[in-house]
Amino acid sequence: MPPPHHLFSCWDEVAERLRSAPAIALFLDFDGTLSPLCPRPEDVRLSGATRSIVATLARNPRIRAWVISGRRRADVRERSRIAGVQYLGLHGWEGRQEVSIKEESRRLLECLKDCARRMVERTPETWLEDKGLVVAIHHANASPAGVTRMREEIARALLPLNGSFRGIAGERTFELAPAEMGDKGTAVRHQLALAGRAALPVFVGDDAVDEPAFAALTGGITIRVGRPGHTRAHFRLAGVKQVRVFLERLNREIGY
């Protein structure tokens, strides 16, 4: 699949779709999309300018806005503090909690956490984040060989669990989560069904964990942030600054 076109090189066509849509469902990832990445997730901050433009968009009666993140919902809400948006944490599972997690999955999760802890101890430049129902191994600075070895080990650990757990491979993390939690694709489908009216979905994300949402929204406007590469998204943007420019353009197209 060729890399997608840069969003701004197709702007006239995109702007026309945005202007003519009866409503827009705007899904924004947080880390690497609204905010620049930091080596430690606790250091990531949202700029005032980005907070302000997303809040402006969320006040528009034609727009419904979500921030959807792999972080816990309380964490991403506290970091964002944008009036008028809905927050979806743990890739969207926190936000549709009628899906309960089986007792068996919770028990297995504790075993997987022990396994992940041992793996991290053996692999330099990796660290473990316990997000409750999800465990994340951060490996942004680890050697490619170390990451490959770890992924193989995780795959072996997951094999006997018959699909009851999923490995979620991001660019900088590897996460383990109960399969019933779903992914960002499950989450956006659910939110669009709840919203109940015909809205043009727009999804902006920077990571492999955003790909299920791109795949779920083939009729929408999907944008992958970062280096051009393999993606299901229709368009790309180079980085966080261009995301803000896009949000400002969106506001100009459909402002009051």
Q: Contact residues for Mg ion (CB under 5 A)?
A: 29, 31-32, 206-207
Q: How far is the CB of 69 from Mg ion (least distance, A)?
A: 7
* Token pair 């433009």 in the structure block, residue: 53
Q: Which is nearer to Mg ion, 175 or 207 (CB)?
A: 207
Q: Which is nearer to Mg ion, 178 or 226 (CB)?
A: 226
Q: Which is nearer to Mg ion, 29 or 183 (CB)?
A: 29
CA distances from 22 to 30, 53, 107 (A): 26, 21, 46
The alpha-helical segments, DSSP class H, found in 93-239 are: 103-122, 144-158, 184-195, 211-216
Q: How far is the CB of 67 from Mg ion (least distance, A)?
A: 11
Q: How far is the CB of 29 from Mg ion (least distance, A)?
A: 4
Q: Which is nearer to Mg ion, 29 or 94 (CB)?
A: 29
Beta strand segments in 164-242, E: 165-169, 173-178, 200-205, 221-225, 235-237
Q: Which is nearer to Mg ion, 171 or 253 (CB)?
A: 171
Q: How far is the CB of 56 from Mg ion (least distance, A)?
A: 22
* Token pair 């669990």 in the structure block, residue: 161
Q: How far is the CB of 115 from Mg ion (least distance, A)?
A: 25
Spatial separation of the C-alpha atoms in residues 207 and 225, rounded to whole Å: 8
Spatial separation of the C-alpha atoms in residues 174 and 92, rounded to whole Å: 17
